[in-house]
């Protein structure tokens, strides 16, 4: 509601409007890559509003859609943040166990760094990575982040970390990390990575996590992975 009025009623949409060609290929480019990327993101939001004004044109829906857009700095660097909430148990990890969000139905395709590049098939440089945990364990987690350019088969939490021969060929980065111990949480900032990546078939990268030490987790512990991507093209 805006000023007591529902935007779904303010924005009048007829059948002609509903089929407007809002695919990114029809957008007029400006020659400014950063501006064109913003146009693409906003066009996707507008397309949803036109397709379903009753649900998507409310103030709450519009704000939610805009908030979901990737954080892009003035220099074009994108920060992608993904939370992983592990299962509600305290089953200890051993070396080479997978860390995931379910022991039976983990997130399909692996976890996602969403809209890491400006457009499908574009390239970027992974500059640095921040990993945080809600569990201030005295023996902090040591792990590895596996990044893929394609969706992979998810691995159950606490199962042996294993990737097929075909899927390992889509691996584009493997980043080891060692968490530091804090008063309320554990965290690490892995800097100066300089890893070149190219997206395939979209703007996202997928990832999985492997434990490299014996680790006692907290019930429903939350891991947050924040990766920074600098555009190349």
Query: Position of tokens 């979209």?
Result: 202
What pLDDT, on a 0 to 100 scale, did the predictor assign at position 56? 72
Q: How far is CA 167 from CA 109, 119, 207, 212, in A?
A: 11, 23, 12, 21
Q: Phi and psi for 197 in degrees, rounded to 5? A: -135, 150
Show the tokens assigned to 51: 């397709």
Those residues whose C-beta lies under 8 Å from the C-beta of residue 144, and which sit 6 or more positions away, are 174, 175, 176, 177, 209, 210, 212
pLDDT tens, residue by residue, 99-149: 999 999 999 999 999 999 999 999 999 999 999 999 999 999 999 999 999
DSSP 114-159: TT-SSSTT-EEEEEEEEEEES---SS--EEEEEEESS------TTS
pLDDT band at 62 (very low <50, low <70, confident <90, very high): confident
Contact (CB, 8 A) for 150 and 163? no
DSSP H or E run through 174 = strand 171-178
Average pLDDT over residues 173-195: 98
Q: Percent of the chain, pLDDT > 90?
A: 67
Q: What is the CA radius of gyration of the chain?
A: 20
What pLDDT, on a 0 to 100 scale, did the predictor assign at position 69? 61
Show the tokens assigned to 79: 């920060």
Query: In terms of pTM, does the model score above 0.85?
Result: no
Distance of CA 198 to the CA centre of its chain: 15
């Amino acid at each position: 509601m805006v000023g007591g009025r529902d935007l779904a009623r303010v924005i009048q949409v007829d059948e002609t409007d509903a089929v407007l060609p809002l695919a990114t290929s029809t957008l007029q480019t400006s020659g400014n890559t950063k501006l064109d990327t913003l146009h693409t993101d906003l066009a996707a939001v507008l397309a949803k509003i036109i397709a379903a004004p009753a649900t998507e044109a409310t103030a709450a829906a519009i704000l939610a859609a805009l908030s979901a857009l990737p954080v892009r700095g003035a220099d074009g660097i994108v920060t992608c943040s993904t939370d992983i909430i592990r299962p509600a148990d305290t089953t200890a990890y051993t070396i080479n166990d997978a860390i995931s969000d379910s022991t039976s139905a983990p997130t399909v395709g692996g976890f996602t760094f969403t809209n890491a590049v400006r457009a499908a098939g574009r390239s970027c440089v992974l500059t640095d990575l921040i990993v945080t945990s809600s569990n201030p364990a005295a023996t902090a987690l040591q792990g590895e982040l596996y990044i893929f350019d394609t969706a992979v088969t998810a691995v159950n939490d606490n199962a042996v970390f294993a990737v097929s021969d075909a899927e390992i060929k889509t691996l584009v980065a493997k980043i080891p990390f060692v968490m530091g111990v804090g008063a309320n949480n554990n965290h690490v900032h892995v800097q100066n990575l300089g890893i070149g990546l190219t997206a395939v078939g979209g703007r996202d990268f997928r990832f999985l996590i492997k434990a490299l030490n014996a680790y006692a987790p907290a019930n429903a512990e939350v891991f947050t992975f924040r990766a920074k991507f600098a555009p190349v093209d």
